[in-house]
Chain A
């Protein structure tokens, strides 16, 4: 999996691409852990090019949501297919979108 991180002023853009593998994932999260952000920062994670199973992404998003939760907003971008699949795990997403 490739991870591209851009930080522009108060916005962090994270793009994940490829297949999720646990080994590379550790590297990814370490990258993310190093990013500085505050309550004004919005975070956008584009998973639409990820080929991992939807439920794995969902676990990842939960972890990321927790990590970035002090930010202003967290936006997760999914491909239609991921969303369709994700819908079958509605309970997971409901945890994320619950206000």
Chain B
């Protein structure tokens, strides 16, 4: 093994970190312009890599970085501005450097060589462009002046005499005649056919020679071919360069190292003449000449000299001149550095951090995990042991283990910003590619999370970012038309919240068209038109997470193939996290990723189901519900499934026993429900017993269990008992819980609060093809009851329900009679009263802010609102309660044998007379003198029959009867005086069940009994 091998990885790691820094600074430069400190930092980074490359003999890297460094040097000196082109070149050079560094020492491929040449060519062009600006030679000066008033196009007139021009005699003698220097070389260059094919520009080589001090560069055309004889693969001339100076031939060869295929060249030495040799003794020695030249070239002001001195010091540091001195002073320290491969790091950094191999860290973490397991076992022992001394030591062990665990976990923590470093570059390149202007704002970069978690979310984040760029942000012209700023904004934000990391990626782009998603979902067969109509906007947005779902009109290389959001979601959910999407059409979208801080050691609830223990990650648990007598009543059957009515939500229940062991769940009394949050949905997991929350060490599943989606790992608890860790998502899948059937929970954060403000949950049910709704908060339970258990007593339905008699009211008469079985019943309950509303079937639950489109006058209906994009009648539960109250009163009265008779009569005398008749017959009489009071009494009391006179204080008997029969079917009788007019011709005479003429007691009672009897009532009192 060569001496390089052990440090190669370190070289790669360090160099990549330095290049990452260069990339970051480059992107900053583009927006803020030249910043001396930033440029110095970039220069230092590149110089450092170049130095290391040279030390290890990675020549290709060193050669490339040499040119890179030159460009940075010119920038650092303010000669080259960070224009877009320059920044492009810098970034491409960083990319190329990264590729070289990934395989240091490897031979360059032809493609790599071409890239290198091309980039070097461009870098040199920029550097030399600067030279032309600062020191234009005679001819160039003239051209520079032209440039000031540069027209859009330049015209060069060529005299027709070109042909008649004698072709220049290019002979060795001609060149020799022109040579007026004593030492140096004549270099002749021609382009090879391969160079022509590759459009290789020899200018960059000429520039390098110019940099070395070329005195003249002449193009000597050969015989210009005729148009038709011209072979464009061949050139017909050569460049002749006079290069004075004391170079070696190898130094010139070095310039051509990478262009040997593209250029042919010859190097001819110009030997110093004797007389010139003698000149060395003279005062005007070459060194002096050089010095004079230097003076001309570096004619600095005093201030510039100071800056130069500073730069010189920096150069010395960078060139390791100063370091060499330090090596002599502290040789031991440097040797240690060399061993660790750390050189040129800042002293403070050396003291505060060291570089540790990640495998060593992983080993440490594994050992800590084992220690935690061991601690747990001891803790279990301590619970049973009655040894005070042992317990004391175990407690100490517990404390120390926790501290070690915490410290070890910290070594895995990394700032999330480290995974964001490449994002600005992605945004820059993609936005340019897409013709968009985008500003990326990053907040919370210092938020720390587990390295392993970060690795998992890195790609999903990039995907969401690309999505935002491609689908979210509009092009500048569209944005301006919409009244937005031309530059779109993408915001990345990370923060901690309750043991989770929240990462938000939002944009102020066009948002998501819910209707568009709906159409695509229907087209793709993910839902039917009818089903889609029932979905709320959030449910529709969820289609975006279906595999293969794409809204892109065309597939681009950036996105649009519909591969992505489902993968993003899968990745995040595998981590025990969730992805949430909010979008406002026209205004932008927000993706919120919620992930656990770490995966190695997690807090979990140990539960028992049957004879087995399982661990449920605490992160997924919302709450625990003990199924005591009170809560047992909240478990109801809905569409064949068990549902828990928990506060204002209905929670689908899954029996762990049934899911895992395929055993039927026996009585759930005294069991526990673990309320699980899985993504943005929740469900209740029925377990036999909950044990305790423990810090568990996650161990991978045995390969035999790996394909079972219900488990995510194993752990050890107590006395080496192996426990399987449940994958809450897998459990939901196995239980066939469809996403739509989950209970959506409202989020507690501010943004969500805005969205869910004033929203109410409604239970939707259908009635004769129309949608009805009831406030879910008023619903006690949903039941599907056996029709055989429904009893009918005096046209009133009842059912034996939870040791009580529950009155049933049909939403519309005839539902029970239609033969539906089981009978869907919505149970309403107050402290005093309960009843079941019989409907045709349950439909859905909707969460919406209700705005009544129309207030209803229909009894039992509050009004009409739009729910799930459909006009929906919202029922008035209070009205139904009143009906039940009356019905129950009716029953009570019936049980007591009492009949309530409402007597409405203007005349006090007649009213009192009738009252005495009624009471004498054992009935209960309520007397009123006006229609208004009569209607009011009807609401307050369970009236079985109304006895009205012809005249009332505010109306008449006909009007009263008419009002009563508008929403009640209470029999009404009218008593007419003998002197009264005949009402047989009155249009409303049929409003009365019976007509009584005169106030004879027997006649009244006879008629009354007849009517009551017809209505199933008898006077028993």
B-contacting residues of A (Cβ < 8 Å)? 20, 22, 25-26, 29-30, 32-33, 39, 46, 48, 52-56, 59-80, 82-85, 87-99
A-B contact pairs, 9 of them (CB 8 A): A30-B228, A53-B201, A69-B160, A69-B164, A70-B163, A74-B159, A75-B156, A79-B154, A80-B153
Binary contact track B202-232/A, C-beta < 8 Å → 1, others 0: 1100110000000001111100111110101
Question: Within the complex, which residue of B153, B230, B233 is in contact with A77, where a contact is CB–CB below 8 Å?
Answer: B153
Cβ–Cβ < 8 Å partners of A53 in chain B: 199, 201
Tell me if B154 and A73 are in contact (CB < 8 A): no
Q: What is the chain A residue whose CB lies nearest that of B234?
A: A59
Tell me if A96 and B230 are in contact (CB < 8 A): no
B155 at the interface (CB under 8 A from A): yes
**Stretch from B139-147, B461-469, B536-544, B775-783 forming part of the interface with A:** B139-147
Given contacts A53-B201, A63-B227, contact A72 B160 (CB under 8 A): yes
Known: A33-B228, A63-B226, A82-B154. 4 other contacts (CB 8 A): A63-B225, A72-B160, A91-B219, A91-B220
Give the complex CA separation of A48 and B156 in angstroms: 12
Q: What is the chain B residue whose CB lies nearest that of A88?
A: B203
Tell me if A74 and B206 are in contact (CB < 8 A): no
Q: What is the chain B residue whose CB lies nearest that of A39?
A: B160
Tell me if B230 and A85 are in contact (CB < 8 A): no
Tell me if B196 and A22 are in contact (CB < 8 A): yes
Tell me if B155 and A75 are in contact (CB < 8 A): yes
Cβ–Cβ < 8 Å partners of B201 in chain A: 53-55
Tell me if A85 and B203 are in contact (CB < 8 A): yes
Question: Within the complex, which residue of B158, B199, B228 is in contact with A73, where a contact is CB–CB below 8 Å?
Answer: B158
Tell me if B161 and A80 are in contact (CB < 8 A): no
Question: Within the complex, which residue of A25, A46, A59, A70 is in contact with B235, where a contact is CB–CB below 8 Å?
Answer: A59
* B-side interface residues, number (CB < 8 Å): 49
Tell me if A96 and B160 are in contact (CB < 8 A): no
Tell me if B140 and A87 are in contact (CB < 8 A): yes
Tell me if A63 and B230 are in contact (CB < 8 A): yes
Tell me if A71 and B160 are in contact (CB < 8 A): yes
Q: What is the chain A residue whose CB lies nearest that of B198?
A: A53
Question: Within the complex, which residue of A56, A69, A87 is in contact with B199, where a contact is CB–CB below 8 Å?
Answer: A56
Cβ–Cβ < 8 Å partners of B165 in chain A: 95, 98
B162 at the interface (CB under 8 A from A): yes
B236 at the interface (CB under 8 A from A): yes
Cβ–Cβ < 8 Å partners of B218 in chain A: 91
Closest-CB distance, B84 to chain A (whole angstroms): 15
Closest-CB distance, A78 to chain B (whole angstroms): 5
Tell me if B154 and A80 are in contact (CB < 8 A): yes
Give the complex CA separation of A93 and B219 in angstroms: 9
Closest-CB distance, A45 to chain B (whole angstroms): 9
Tell me if A67 and B206 are in contact (CB < 8 A): no
B802 at the interface (CB under 8 A from A): no
Cβ–Cβ < 8 Å partners of A48 in chain B: 153
Closest-CB distance, B872 to chain A (whole angstroms): 64
Given contacts A22-B232, A48-B153, A88-B203, contact A96 B162 (CB under 8 A): yes
Closest-CB distance, A38 to chain B (whole angstroms): 11
Give the complex CA separation of A31 and B549 in angstroms: 53
Binary contact track B288-301/A, C-beta < 8 Å → 1, others 0: 00000000000000
Q: What is the chain B residue whose CB lies nearest that of A66?
A: B224
Tell me if B203 and A76 are in contact (CB < 8 A): no
Cβ–Cβ < 8 Å partners of B197 in chain A: 22
Give the complex CA separation of A91 and B157 in angstroms: 16
Greatest chain B CB density within 10 A among A65, A78, A85 is at A65
Given contacts A53-B201, A56-B199, contact A79 B153 (CB under 8 A): yes
Q: Which 7 A-B pairs have the closest CB atoms?
A: A69-B163, A91-B219, A74-B158, A22-B232, A67-B227, A83-B154, A65-B162
Question: Within the complex, which residue of A68, A92, A94 is in contact with B160, where a contact is CB–CB below 8 Å?
Answer: A68
Given contacts A52-B199, A91-B219, contact A76 B155 (CB under 8 A): yes
Cβ–Cβ < 8 Å partners of A85 in chain B: 203
